[in-house]
Amino acid sequence: RRIAQHSAHSVSALLSASGMLRQDSTDGLNLLLGALQEVRGYSAKCQQPLPDVQEILATGQNAIRNFCERPARQELARAWLTRHGLQHCVRLLAAQGLLERLPEVAASVELAEKIGLPQRCYKALATLAAGASIEDAHLAPRGLPAGWRKAFSRSVAMEYFVQVGDAKRTQWPWPVAEGAAGGE
pLDDT mean by block of 10 residues, the chain; 184 residues: 73 88 93 90 76 85 93 90 85 84 79 78 77 76 90 92 82 82 42
Q: Do the beta carbons of residue 175 and residue 161 sit within 8 Å?
A: yes
d(C-alpha 61, C-alpha 157), whole Å: 8
- Beta strand 158-163 pairing with 170-171: antiparallel
The reported pLDDT for the residue numbered 134 is 75
The CB density around residue 180, as the number of other CB atoms within 10 Å, is 16
Q: What is the pLDDT of residue 151?
A: 93
Residue 183 has a pLDDT of 41
Do 172 and 33 touch, CB atoms closer than 8 A? yes
68: left (phi over 0), alpha (psi -120 to 50) or beta: alpha
19: region left, alpha or beta (phi > 0 left; psi from -120 to 50 alpha): left
